[in-house]
Amino acid sequence: MNFSIVPERPFDAAAIEMLLQVAFGPDRHAKTVYKLREGVEPLPDLAFVALDEGGVLQASIRYWPILIDRRWPAVLLGPLAVNPVHKGRGMGKALMRHSLAEAARLGHRLCLLVGDHDYYAPFGFVHAAPFGLKLPGWVDLDRFHVRELVPGAMAGVSGMVGRAPGAGRSLMGSGARSVG
């Protein structure tokens, strides 16, 4: 199946919410990473969706601004979700490649995520805990990862990861809730 990757559009919000519900379930908001997203909009320049040949949204990726130790800006990747019907057809990898390249092009220096090591390691993600990076809540350290978007960007960086409210422009307009 052919698919195309396009920037997320304001009217995609409801379809993405449904996709996340299917992929991660209703308990996802309890996860530690959601603390970092509360009251913060996803970065609009790094939100992409995959559309099938009929133009129907089948996958989504978003990133959020974060601050490490209140001083080093970084981006938090996720959620990445693919419609289970279309799993294994390359949408996830294509969204990863496209968005990581865009993040680097836009000048972001570091990317963090919580996810399956075997899926993300091929994209250059390594365990984050050995660098002294911490999240504000429980996380399975085997799932906590970092990737330099600029070579050497991790030098000297460590500490607690926090929210970066105001770092992203509103994607959905005022009054809309951040989803994901």
Ligand X SMILES: CC(C)(COP(=O)(O)OP(=O)(O)OC[C@H]1O[C@@H](n2cnc3c(N)ncnc32)[C@H](O)[C@@H]1OP(=O)(O)O)[C@@H](O)C(=O)NCCC(=O)NCCS
> In the complex, which residue's CB is closest to ligand X?
92
Burial letters 118-155, b for 16+ CB under 10 A, else e: eebeeeebeebeebebbbeeebeeeebbbbbbeeebbe
CB 65, CB 110: distance < 8 Å: no
* Rounded least distance, CB 97 to ligand X, Å: 9
Q: Which DSSP letter does residue 54 get?
A: T
Question: C-beta of 151: minimal distance to ligand X in Å?
Answer: 25
Give least dist CB 84 to ligand X, A.
Answer: 7
- Applying CB under 6 A, which residues contact ligand X? 23-24, 80-82, 87-93, 115-116, 118-119
Q: Nearest distance from residue 169's CB to ligand X, in Å?
A: 25
* 35/98 with CB nearer ligand X: 98
Q: Which lies closer to ligand X via its Cβ, residue 5 or residue 104?
A: 5
Region of 152 (left: φ > 0; alpha: ψ -120 to 50; beta: rest) is left
Closer of 60 and 178 to ligand X (Cβ):
60
- Judged by DSSP in three states, 30 sits in helix
Pick the closer one to ligand X by CB: 60 or 157. 60
Name the residue among 81, 106, 79 with its Cα closest to residue 92: 81
